[in-house]
A and B are shown apart, each in its own frame.
Chain A
Amino acid sequence: SQTIHQWPATLVQPVGSPLSLECTVEGTSNPNLYWYRQAAGRGLQLLFYSVGIGQISSEVPQNLSASRPQDRQFILSSKKLLLSDSGFYLCAWGGQQGSETQYFGPGTRLLVL
């Protein structure tokens, strides 16, 4: 069966510091991978998605970036965090057809102070 991991679970970072969140998927090959952010009381906002190694599509212009160095690894980064980057970051995977259900990792709660 497929599993998806994210770490860390929680993170408190000062404004201006860098960020690296990691997501890995097991039990599937060549998945579509997604990074979402969820602010309190808001819907999920798609940040990035990837259909393959090195292929990243950005949905929202911001100070975040994403990379996919391996088939089942997806990394979300920032060089300098802003207060507005605080939120719940969720990684998800879905089938390559694009028509399949997305399944979420446990999430990382980020607080920027």
Chain B
Amino acid sequence: GQNIDQPTEMTATEGAIVQINCTYQTSGFNGLFWYQQHAGEAPTFLSYNVLDGLEEKGRFSSFLSRSKGYSYLLLKELQMKDSASYLCAVRDSNYQLIWGAGTKLIIKP
């Protein structure tokens, strides 16, 4: 079967750094996506990795290791508005997205 694992919930402090991990087992791999979803809203695209290594976009970075079936999303200089769920999704051999259940990130002042 296909499986995406992420922690259910994480807590961090405003101004700090947090790393959200994602491990996957899928039938084929054609890229990994991270989305942000605020409560009651639709997911918005954050990052895409298809090759091993780190992709940086401002305060957010995403890392991929295909051999380990592992990715993480790194958020720096946390702000209260970063409180949201972060969804990891992998595109499989059929080019369909397989979604994790998401990690709820709580930011405390």
Q: What residues make up the interface of A, taking CB atoms closer than 8 Å to B?
A: 41-46, 49, 59, 90, 98-99, 101-107, 109
Collect the chain A residues with CB atoms within 8 Å of residue B45's CB.
101-103
Total number of A-B contacts with CB less than 8 angstroms?
A: 41
A103 vs B36: C-alpha distance in the bound complex, in angstroms?
Answer: 12
Q: Is the CB of B87 within 8 A of A43?
A: yes
Interface size in chain B (residues, C-beta < 8 A): 21
Q: Is the CB of A98 within 8 A of B102?
A: no
Q: List 27 A-B contacts (CB under 8 A).
A: A41-B101, A42-B101, A43-B4, A43-B99, A43-B100, A43-B101, A43-B102, A44-B43, A44-B87, A44-B97, A44-B99, A45-B99, A46-B96, A46-B97, A49-B96, A59-B96, A99-B30, A101-B33, A101-B45, A101-B48, A102-B33, A103-B45, A104-B42, A104-B44, A105-B42, A106-B41, A106-B42
Interface centre among A41, A42, A43, A99 (most CB of B within 10 A): A43
> Please, what's the 1-or-0 string for B56-99, where 1 marks a CB less than 8 Å from any CB in chain A?
00000000000000000000000000000001010100011101
Shortest CB distance B88–A (Å): 9
